[in-house]
Amino acid sequence: MPSIITATDLKKTYGKGDTAHEAVKGINFYVSEGTCTGLLGPNGAGKTTTMGMLMGLVRMTSGSLNVFGQPADKLPRDIKARIGLVPQEDNLDPDLSVEQNLYIYGRYFGIKKDVLATRVPQLLNFMQLEEKTKSRVNQLSGGMKRRLVIARALVNDPDLIILDEPTTGLDPQARVMIWQRLLELKKQGKTLLLTTHYMDEAQRLCDDIILIDGGKILDNGTPQQLIKNHVKAHVFDVTKPLPSALTRVAEGKTQQDINAEDVGDSVLFYVTEAGTPSFRKTIPHDAQYLHRPAHLEDVFLTLTGRNLRE
């Protein structure tokens, strides 16, 4: 599949001299056409900075970054029009109505009035906002504003959609609705680049994951590859106090190939498929535990640690 985005040794330093801060420290990645790629990392990882450089909103310090085969810092207008952006902060015009926000954006990109007259109602319908067509933006809930920003990003009918935390702070219903729409866009052949703090969302939507922290890429791959490479397939979440047989396993005093992690009121045991039957036998009958498959959140916390970020 052709690559829509290619980053090579991409760096960004904010400020100069004593206050200089290297937010992106030489990253390499690509995004293939028609896929959904997740850019995941804790706060301050450099995700928004990277997206800003893609849109030509943040000036790169060095390296190269190509979008549709052209340098991102000098994208011509017709290429920019092929990219839809959902910024991390909603930047709608609060005094305009829902539909006016879409019309003005469309006119900015030179889309003809009669095209907009069909497309705007379609997009409002697609994002379930048709009942709010005439409402002012400052009367919308947070979830509705987010949906409107997504609708606005689609006004140009873009081939590439960049979404910076599209579902942060939304209720579960709104998140599920947005997931359905993003999967629909992928089905239409669009390329998606997404950041999210919700690992279930990334696992559900993304074909490829780029894990970034402190401006560096920790690893990338499909969710399943990352799970396979960084954690074992099974997780036993055992409630404390740990039975003594398991304390020995947790301290690595047995021969079993098991990783244990204390997460406060319980201990997570990561166990291979093959090791699962014998591990289960070491759990006393009266112990409380939950057995589940490992997921992307386990990988994320294993690679980025459990300390709080900015």
Residues within the interface to ligand ADP (CB under 6 A): 14-15, 21, 23, 41, 43-49
| Binder among 37, 48, 167, 191 for Mg ion (CB under 5 A) | 48
Q: Which is nearer to ligand ADP, 129 or 209 (CB)?
A: 209
Give the separation between CA 51 and CA 16, rounded to whole angstroms.
22
Spatial neighbors of 239 by CB under 8 A, at least 6 apart, are 265, 266, 287, 288, 289
Nearest distance from residue 135's CB to ligand ADP, in Å? 30
Stretch in the footprint of Mg ion (CB under 5 A) among 44-52, 150-158, 232-240, 242-250 = 44-52
Give the separation between CA 99 and CA 111, rounded to whole angstroms.
15
69 binds, among ligand ADP, Mg ion, none (CB under 5 to 8 A by kind): none
Stretch in the footprint of Mg ion (CB under 5 A) among 42-50, 76-84, 131-139, 201-209 = 42-50
Q: Are 124 and 98 in contact (CB under 8 A)?
A: yes
Residue number of the CB closest to Mg ion reads 48
Q: Are 185 and 192 in contact (CB under 8 A)?
A: yes
Three-state DSSP class for 168? coil
Nearest distance from residue 47's CB to ligand ADP, in Å? 3
45 binds, among ligand ADP, Mg ion, none (CB under 5 to 8 A by kind): ligand ADP
Q: Are 279 and 271 in contact (CB under 8 A)?
A: yes
Stated as kind and residue range, the H or E segment containing 184 is helix 172-187
41 binds, among ligand ADP, Mg ion, none (CB under 5 to 8 A by kind): ligand ADP
Q: Are 29 and 78 in contact (CB under 8 A)?
A: no
158 binds, among Mg ion, ligand ADP, none (CB under 5 to 8 A by kind): none
The answer to whether 196 contacts Mg ion (rule: CB under 5 A) is no
Q: Which is nearer to ligand ADP, 86 or 116 (CB)?
A: 86
Nearest distance from residue 198's CB to Mg ion, in Å? 14
Nearest distance from residue 169's CB to Mg ion, in Å? 13
Nearest distance from residue 88's CB to Mg ion, in Å? 5
Q: CA geometry: angle at 28 spanning 24 and 31, to 5°?
A: 110
Residue 109: exposure state from Cβ atoms within 10 A (0-12, 13-18, ≥19): middle
108 binds, among Mg ion, ligand ADP, none (CB under 5 to 8 A by kind): none
Q: Which residues pair with 239 in a beta bridge?
A: 266
Give the separation between CA 181 and CA 175, rounded to whole angstroms.
10
Q: Which is nearer to Mg ion, 168 or 282 (CB)?
A: 168
CA 103 to chain CA mean position, Å:
28
CA 100 to chain CA mean position, Å:
29
97 binds, among Mg ion, ligand ADP, none (CB under 5 to 8 A by kind): none
Contact characters 85-114, Mg ion, x per CB under 5 A: ---x--------------------------
Nearest distance from residue 209's CB to Mg ion, in Å? 16
Nearest distance from residue 141's CB to ligand ADP, in Å? 24
Q: Are 288 and 238 in contact (CB under 8 A)?
A: yes
What residues make contact with Mg ion under the rule CB under 5 A?
A: 47-48, 88
